[in-house]
Amino acid sequence: MRNSRFAGRLPYRRPLPTVVIGGMIAVLISLVALVSCARPAAGGSGEGPGELVVYSARNEQFVDPLLHRFAEETGITVRALHAGGSAVNRIVEESRNVQADIFISNDVGALEYLRMGGHLQGFEPEGIESIDPRYRAADHSWFALSARTRVLMYNKDLITDEAMPQTIWELANPTWAGQFAITRGGNGSMIAHISALRYEWGDSKTAQWIAGVMENAGAIMQGHGDIRRAVGGGEFAFGLVNNYYYHQQLLEPTHNNVGVLYPDQGEDEMGAVVNAAGVAFVAGAPNAENARRFLTWILRPENQREFSYASMEVPINPSIEAVGEAAAISNYKVHSMPLDRLGEVFEDTREFIERAGLALELR
């Protein structure tokens, strides 16, 4: 704090010569010009390529290699925030001070939920026609790249395919008490799965199923990776996972004697529940031009392939062959719910799950 003795009095300094003042002004002007040239303009359009901020709800081991290659090929600095299930809420909360350019999600419901809330913007990237309209927003503000199907992975040392439950509903049957594992209710794939069940069964029957599954499950785990390892290791006979976790377990050096069952394949049954992973263009993206570059880049066939193969999912683009052991979507019966309907019930299903008693997070 300034001493009160000097209030109103400034020490005397001799005026600088005019030539010195002029020289200082010239230097300041030069410095301002240099800083202005060095600072990239909004959207990453400076002399340099700028940066791209990516929020991801997807496992970072599937995302980072792809982002690294994009950075190497374009010179754009990529900053990735791996926020898991909280990524959607962050984008919503930051809508008045947008930080993200691109959102990568494991769940079409989350993508469509953001679009419906005005948090995404449309774009017409080159190559978008390679994605079936069923798997992209009408304004292309999001599009899916790989599909995942909800399956029952089982340990062949503990149970046979014939002895396995053939429908998802059967998990609520006390016959299977203690024999299987599921994920927490806040897992994106679990939210989408329960949304599909609400569409098929209605809320009353779905709540009854959740209660039965909670009662019967031998464990409620953080993620599907925990389930596949537990099933492979013989802790449980089977688990409810996305299909690619089965393929991952097959590659393990041990504990890999596992099988997979696509449920609800009977003539009068609903079919297996399918969801998809994809990318979205965030509204108000601070590096919009670089975001457009990324969306066009990711649609190149080799990058679509990498997006799906990294996690052993099934490519949405039919011209890209599925990873070995993976069944193409056309090879089994799938649930009839349009994926974009998932967005309508995304937030409501989270609340529904909590009301039904299944915790969103492990505590």
End-to-end alpha-carbon separation of the chain, Å? 49
Query: What pLDDT does residue 336 have?
Result: 86
Q: Kindly tell me if the per-residue pLDDT of 8 is higher than 60.
A: no
Residues 16 and 339: their CA atoms lie apart, in Å, by 73
**85 or 155, higher pLDDT:** 155
Strand, helix or coil at 37? Answer: helix
- List the one residue out of 54, 52, 69 whose CA is nearest residue 303: 69
SS3 157: coil
DSSP 83-128: -GGGHHHHHHHTTTS---SEEEES-HHHHHHHHHTT-B-----TTG
Looking at this protein, which amino acid is placed at residue 112? Answer: E
Tell me: the pLDDT tens digits for 169-196? 999 999 999 999 999 998 888 998 999 9
Which pLDDT score, from 0 to 100, does residue 339 have?
A: 83
The β-bridge relationship of strands 238-242 and 180-183 is parallel
51-147+275-326 and 148-274+345-356 share one CATH topology? Answer: yes
Estimate the crossing angle of helix 188-201 against helix 203-216, to 10 degrees.
Answer: 130
Q: Is the distance from CB of 263 to CB of 21 less than 8 angstroms?
A: no
11-20, 189-198, 327-336: least confident range: 11-20
Give the pLDDT band of residue 47 (cuts 50, 70, 90). low
User: In angstroms, what is the C-alpha Rg of the chain?
Assistant: 26
Report domain extents, the chain: 51-147+275-326, 148-274+345-356
**196: Cα within 13 Å, side-chain hemisphere:** 26
Whether CATH 3.40.190.10 fits 51-147+275-326? yes
Q: CA-to-CA distance for 18 and 346, rounded, in angstroms?
A: 69
Instruction: Report the alpha-carbon distance of residue 317 to residue 12 in Å, rounded.
Output: 77
| Residue range 268-297, pLDDT digits in tens | 999 999 999 999 999 999 999 999 999 999
Candidates 143, 191, 199, 242; CA nearest to 341 is 199
Yes or no: say if 232 and 258 are a contact pair by the CB < 8 Å rule: yes
Average pLDDT over residues 217-232: 96
CB atoms near residue 162 (< 10 Å): 7
| 92 neighbors 116 (Cβ within 8 angstroms) | no
Would you give the DSSP letter of residue 200? H
Amino acid of residue 200: E
Nearest Cα to Cα of residue 159 among 248, 66, 239: 239
Q: Is it true that domain 148-274+345-356 has CATH number 3.30.479.30?
A: no
How deeply is 153 buried, as exposed, middle or buried, from its count of CB atoms within 10 A (0-12, 13-18, 19+)? buried
pLDDT confidence band for 57 (50 / 70 / 90):
very high
Closest CA to 317 of 330, 301, 333, 332: 301
